[in-house]
Structure 1
Amino acid sequence: MSTVHEAPARLLDDRAIPRAGERVTRDAYGRPITYLRVSLTDRCNLRCVYCMPAHGVKFAPRDELLTDDELIRVVRVAARLGFNRIRLTGGEPTVRPHLVEIVRAIAQTPGIDDISMTTNGLLLERLAPDLKAAGLTRINISIDTLDPARYTIMTRGGKLERVWAGILAAEAVGLTPIKLNAVVVRGLNDHEVPDLAALTLDHPWQVRFIEVMPLEGVGHVHDSGLVTTAEMIARLQERFGPLEQLPAPLSDPARVYRIAGAQGTIGFISPVSEPFCAFCNRVRLTADGKLRLCLLRNDEVDLRDFMRRGCSDDELAERIRFAIWRKPWGHGLREGDRNVGRGMSQIGG
């Protein structure tokens, strides 16, 4: 496995040079960057133990967050540069005012083919029909446990029944394929991995197990709670027998498997034990207008103040191109680099 300092030689070739007529922006390693994850807010209606500390979280003043028009402008310019996929994140994106209008504006942007959202699902039962009508394509919903009491503990106050209602509402209006995200933490929900996976037996969903990451303010949860993908797979095979590995795009961070006879699939996202940096195709726009080049590296390029100083769209496009060119090879966790700089709610998932 290559490290942040050892990019595979096959990527360090002429693919780093834009081809004539090619409508895509590449980084210095030749990776096409086509996927923008947009954080709509740093605020959340939960305080999940692996994401935010229980107290002391400082949210950005409202005037420091991108306005609706600024956010849509970045998406429009990014589409000119070859971005065709947008994922809305947070914080919790459903608490952002004018969410449906934002989705509609993105859906009407030429070049954008796919708009998805990651949410905790608490408000989804009410919002799902309008989001679908506005142009949202599909949805990921966080559900780390099937035990209502444990869910309340892990989220510090959430109600599991509201999440389940949101899942069913999303499925009913066609926000599919449904993907369910579970961050696995030793001593909290690791014993539930088989039960969560069993949801795929009767539902055409993908349950995705995510290794807990050393994020700002909650690094201790990673240090004591990391459960690797290899351990999760071993637990599942003890219960269900051998898993069938399925093909998946190289840029998809999840390795996908199926339990024999299941309707749905299982995904494993392994940023700590098996980094997928080699085929990363994404950057993140934080709620306060920074283009973050790697989730786990404190390396950002300001777009908000640049826009507020009166830059043209062409100048904004060049700034985005410059940022993407210097996107780092990887996060460097294996080399001991843990300078993340922000919590997940501030970065955008």
Structure 2
Amino acid sequence: MLLDNHGRKISYLRLAVTDKCNLRCFYCMPEQGLDWLSRKKLMSYNEMLRMCRVMLSMGIEKIRITGGEPFVRKDMMQLLTAISGLDGLKELTITTNGVLTAPYIADLKKIGIRSINLSLDTLDAGRFFAITRRDEFSAVLDTLQELLKQDFDMKINTVVMAGKNTQDIIPLVELTKELPVSVRFIEEMPFNGDGHQHSGIAWDYVRIFDEIRQAYPSIQKIPDPQFSTAYNYQIPGHQGSIGIIAAYSRTFCGTCNRVRVTPNGMLKNCLYDDGVLNIKDLMRLGMSDAELTSTLKRAFSTREKDGWQAEQKRLENPASESMATIGG
């Protein structure tokens, strides 16, 4: 078992394979996009595989592939197939915006992927365009339908934003009546990619829950899975469930079991830290697997107690980078 300096188990790696995205969600990046990483600065697939193999040998059990948008990167199925065959891996999952995903769904199922998170902030085509700055709503709905048809464990991730999509909270909740999906409402975070410091949120997890409870007074708390970042609920008679993630309030840090690696190989012990070491650079300098293992163990032994403490330590570089550069 891999433990950090606070006695928390580390068993979950979120690996961002690219910073590029085919949407331009205003809460994630500017309309013109970002200064994308060059191919040389990105981790190669072989480097990702090696890093995953080392981390699995240390105690990582679950890997989630994120971006940017994973399927923007060429030959993504090749990487996913290789990772799915690594020793020690218990679960491989993906977070996607769904625009390019539909053609790969059968292949994803074939290599053993059973759970997919779909980012969808609204059920209204006009608001979708306003949020994402792209006309891809129908493609995302096609992916949603195909995932349900193929019996994937489906989570819909919705960032709740004042003045943008709060009117979508109840319609999204209503999806759970007939569909076996988990709709998860996420507090807006400061990772907007425009350099402006976040000043707090109007819609925190308490207000989101109150909004749902007003429409559905019978909503019930259900058990949260181990290491869950969401408070989970269900409405009697509904097939699906509801989750509320206090991503800005950071109420779940005490049981955090995850680490992140960015597209350029930076290890982040916390979403809110500034990065603790660059794994890609260490591998390119010729570090052996044994040396890499020791270095990672030292890095894992310096995790901050929570996201607030991690953010405090980066006061000269406030959290404002794009989520696409971190891994959604």
> Shorter chain as normaliser: what TM range?
over 0.9
Listed one character per residue, the Cα deviations across residues 319-342 of structure 1 (whole Å, up to 9, x for unaligned) are 111111111111117986763263
Q: Tell me, yes or no, if structure 1 residue 45 matches structure 2 residue 33.
A: no
Residues 243-279 of structure 1: CA deviation (Å, up to 9, x unaligned)? 1101012411011001121100000001223521100
- The whole-number CA distance in structure 2 between the counterparts of 1:193 and 1:216 is 21
**Contact 2:311 / 2:319 at 8 angstroms: preserved in 1?**
no
Q: Deviations over 1:162-200 (max 9, x none)?
A: 1011011122223x2100000010000012111111100
Output the CA distance in 1 between the equivalents of 2:262 and 2:58.
Answer: 19
Letter paired with 1:347: I
Does residue 76 of the first structure (1) align with residue 53 of the second (2)? yes
**Given the alignment, which residue of 269, 283, 286 partners 1:307?**
283
Q: 1:247 to 1:91 in 2, by over 3 A?
A: same
Aligned partner of 2:264 in structure 1 is 288
> Structure 2: where are the runs of 5+ without partners?
none
1:239 and 2:215 are equivalent in the alignment: yes
> CA offsets per residue over residues 137-185 of structure 1, 9 Å max, x none?
31000110000011011001142111011011122223x2100000010
Rounded to whole Å, the distance in 1 between the matches of 2:210 and 2:197 is 22
Does residue 1:347 correspond to 2:326, yes or no? yes
**Larger deviation: 145-154 or 267-276?**
267-276
Distance 1:220 1:313 in 2: 39
The correspondence of residues 104-123 of structure 1 with structure 2, limited to 5 A, is 104-123=81-100
Equivalent pairs counted in the alignment come to 325
Moved over 6 A (4+): 333-338
> 3-state SS of the aligned residue for 1:167?
helix
CA deviation digits over 1:63-92, x for unaligned, max 9? 110111000000000000010000000000
What CA distance in whole angstroms lies between the structure 2 residues aligned with 1:334 and 1:27?
A: 15
1:317 to 293, 297, 307: 293
2:171 aligned with 1:195: yes
Is the contact made by 1:142 and 1:180 (CA closer than 8 Å) also made in structure 2? yes
Contact 2:194 2:320 in 1 (8 A): no
Shift of 1:58: 1.0
Shift of 1:98: 1.5
Q: SS of 1:257's equivalent? A: strand
How far the C-alpha of 1:48 sits from its partner, in A, is: 0.5
> 1:103 aligned to 2:80?
yes
Shift in CA distance, 189/221, structure 1 to aligned 2, threshold 3 Å: farther
Map of 1:147 onto structure 2: 124
CA distance in 2, matches of 1:302, 1:216: 23
Match of 1:186 in 2: 162
Match of 1:28 in 2: 5
Question: Per-residue displacement from partner, 1:73-118 (whole Å, max 9, x unpaired)?
Answer: 0000000001000000000011111211111111110100100000
SS at match of 2:94: strand
For structure 1, the residue ranges without an aligned partner over 5 or more in a row are: 1-23
> Does the 8 A contact of 1:52 with 1:343 survive in 2?
yes
Q: Distance in 2 between matches of 1:45 and 1:75?
A: 26
Match of 1:165 among 126, 139, 142: 142
Q: 2:38 aligns with which of 61, 67, 70?
A: 61
Give the secondary structure class of the aligned counterpart of 1:262.
coil
* Alignment deviations for residues 288-307 of structure 1 (CA, whole Å, 9 cap, x no partner): 11111110121321111110
Question: Residue 60 of structure 1 aligns to a residue in which SS?
Answer: coil
